[in-house]
Chains A and B, each alone.
Chain A
Amino acid sequence: MSRPAIEIQHLTKEFPLSEKGTGWFSFIRPKKKILTALDSISLHIPEGEIVGYIGPNGSGKSTTIKILTGILTPTRGNVRVLGYVPWEQRYEYTFNIGVVFGQKSLLWWDIPPFECFRLYKEIYEMDEKTYQQRLTYLSNLFEIDEFMHTPTRKLSLGQRMRCELVASLIHKPKVLFLDEPTIGLDVVAKQRMRDAIREINEKEKTTVILTTHDMKDIEELAHRILILNEGKIIYDGTLEDVRKRFIHENTVMFELVRITNPTLFSKIIQPHRIQQNGQTFNLTFDRTAFSTKKILDDLFDCCEISHFEVNEPSLEDVVREIYDTKNRQKH
């Protein structure tokens, strides 16, 4: 196993909140309250891994990213990223990381991204030759050549996000933090971004921490997922594991032409849930107890079927189920 790029131990972040009352003078002595955004989380992320960091809104994802990038100071706990304590060694540390906040642009609105890249060249103290080589590589990878000389305000969201990524990768960071990088993008733009991120990760062994609400991003990119809820990590494992652990049901959808053996058909569907819409049936079964192949074989023995599909719940369904389970346990 490669050495850890990120080590977090018992990281806690609390925000003080003032609760203003309704009285005229309640602002004089407001009630104090503490909001725990991160509650003693610990984790290790090895170099070169892509980690999907997911959770509902307000679960603490962005707070974690902001601590790891040196923006916020934690209340308690230890963090080392590439051996640095981010908020204490901010200046030297930030030469080694790249950050994209999906909702906060790195580019100047009125001028072309190409001009902004030069500013980042100076910020990261790059020499001209390295900068030119890097820009050529990234502009090919993200296919921004034809519009990087156009003012940012005239670019589409997808084009702009690709330029944002180029700006954050220009200095070849060892760790890349992506906070909702595909927010608002269409499917084609998302796919292009994912392909480019994957290539950067594979070629340069860049560690990538990705927060997103788009489960397709996670499925396509992440080697490992961390699920956060109310400031606590409630799941840490591979995508395969999450499926094995949380997906217990599969659904077979089939379009029936006619039933050749009604007795056998009744026997097959009896232990399962079935939904009928005209000639289309959805048969949902416990995949840990029944084999998909056996059910399909039996169906073909007793029916004439024109079309069928086997569907397992999407990662989105699984994640929703995990959040719901945790909320039910809480209440």
Chain B
Amino acid sequence: MTRKIVKNIKLFREFLRLRIAVIKEYPINLVSDLGMRFLEFGFFFIMWKSIFGAKGIIPGWDIPSLMVLYSFESLFIALLITFTYSAIGMWKNIHEGRIDKYLCRPTNPWFMVIGERMGMAIGGYFVGIGGLVMCFFLFDVQLFQPALIFGLILVLLATAIATLFCMIMATMSFWFGKIEFIDSIFDSLMEFDQFPQNIFPWQIQTALSITLPFLFAHTIPTLSLFGKISLMETAQWIVVALGVVALNYLLFSFLWNRGLKRYEAHGG
């Protein structure tokens, strides 16, 4: 087990090195990514300011907290681009028989596919971290507190949940072949990303928590940072998120192992 973890860390380092080599090959992508993120950040700020005025239209939310929410969201989206987007496309690899080259090597096919395709999303990380720092200077948001650490842990757990959800969906390809609909499901769920999740009914919050958990990714971290929920409550949310990760992982392992036995390696 330890051997595999060490190996995967080394492999991840290699993937990062290769990704940086690709960025060096096409620097224009980095420039456009950064530009787009800054534009989006500005648009988000103007949108909320125009719609709600200075503060208080949604109970408990104002411009500073919405900007922090957006910063966490940027971080989450960047992590989705790095890890989750390639998992969404995995069904194509399964359907077209393109996981062969990973299955015949001593490595995990998922790790290889995610590593090979991970987007660096440097703009997203930059705006996420930069947004938090900006909120610290502009709105006097207290960043140096345990709630920030808890918040970042929740963002990572939310990424794990979303990635596992996409992996679960992709395994459906073993049974149903071409499952283009999962791209649409993902895109539809992404529509919820810019809004505080506690404004939605509990049914939607629950459904999103096991698929694309914006609640864990930005709402709880922001509420925690502003002291609207206690540190203990935040820790409880971390436990809940861990539970969802475990649940999704178990379901994924079951489907993957069953699916591999059905794998037909089409395409030559």
Contacts and interface: CB of A to CB of B under 8 A. Distances in A.
Contact of B103 (A90, A103, A119, A122): A90
Interface in A47-104: 62-63, 66, 69-73, 90-92, 94-95, 97, 99, 101, 103-104
A124 B106 contact: yes
A85 to B, nearest CB: 14
A108 interface: yes
Nearest to A121: B14
B173 to A, nearest CB: 15
Contacts of A71: 100, 103-104, 263, 265
B22 interface: yes
A15 B100 contact: no
A205 interface: no
Interface of A: 15, 62-63, 66, 69-73, 90-92, 94-95, 97, 99, 101, 103-106, 108, 110-111, 115-116, 118-119, 122-125, 151, 177
Contacts of B105: 94, 99, 123
A119 B107 CA distance: 11
Nearest to A125: B7
Contact of A115 (B7, B18, B268): B18
Given A73-B260, A119-B14, A97 B22 contact: no
Contacts, number: 77
A110 B25 contact: yes
Nearest to A69: B104
Contacts of B49: none
B104 A110 contact: no
A115 B107 CA distance: 18
B92 to A, nearest CB: 14
6 contacts: A72-B263, A94-B104, A101-B101, A104-B100, A115-B18, A123-B106
A38 B11 CA distance: 36
A178 to B, nearest CB: 12
Contacts of A101: 100-101, 268
B228 interface: no
B14 A70 contact: no
B26 interface: yes
Given A73-B260, A119-B11, A122-B7, A104 B101 contact: yes
Contacts of B10: 122
A99 B25 contact: no
Interface of B: 7, 10-11, 14-15, 17-18, 21-22, 25-26, 98, 100-101, 103-107, 116, 260-261, 263-265, 268
Nearest to A123: B107
Given A91-B106, A118-B14, 8 more contacts: A99-B104, A99-B105, A101-B101, A104-B101, A108-B18, A110-B26, A122-B11, A123-B107
A277 to B, nearest CB: 41
A104 B100 CA distance: 9
B106 A111 contact: no
A70 B103 contact: yes
Contacts of B107: 123
A130 to B, nearest CB: 15
A122 B4 CA distance: 11
Task: List 7 A-B pairs, minimum CB-CB distance, nearest first.
Answer: A69-B104, A99-B104, A71-B103, A94-B106, A111-B21, A122-B10, A119-B14
Given A70-B103, A115-B18, A103 B268 contact: yes
A103 B265 CA distance: 13
Nearest to B107: A123
A72 B266 CA distance: 11
A151 B14 contact: no
Nearest to A37: B264
Contact of B104 (A97, A115, A116, A151): A97
Query: Residue among A71, A97, A106 with the most chain B CB within 10 A?
Result: A71
A15 B266 CA distance: 11
A111 B10 CA distance: 19
Nearest to A67: B265
Given A104-B100, A122-B14, A151 B25 contact: yes
Contacts of B106: 91-92, 94-95, 123-125
Contacts of B261: 73
A72 B100 CA distance: 9
A285 B268 CA distance: 41
A110 B22 CA distance: 6
A170 B101 CA distance: 15
Contacts of B26: 110
Nearest to A177: B104
B114 to A, nearest CB: 14
A200 B100 CA distance: 24
B89 to A, nearest CB: 16
A172 B24 CA distance: 32
A119 B106 CA distance: 12
Contacts of A110: 21-22, 25-26
A115 B14 CA distance: 9
A115 B101 contact: no
A135 B117 CA distance: 26
A102 to B, nearest CB: 9
A115 B21 contact: yes
B265 A72 contact: yes
Q: Which of A110, A118, A123, A125 has the most CB of B within 10 A?
A: A123
A94 to B, nearest CB: 5
Contacts of A177: 104
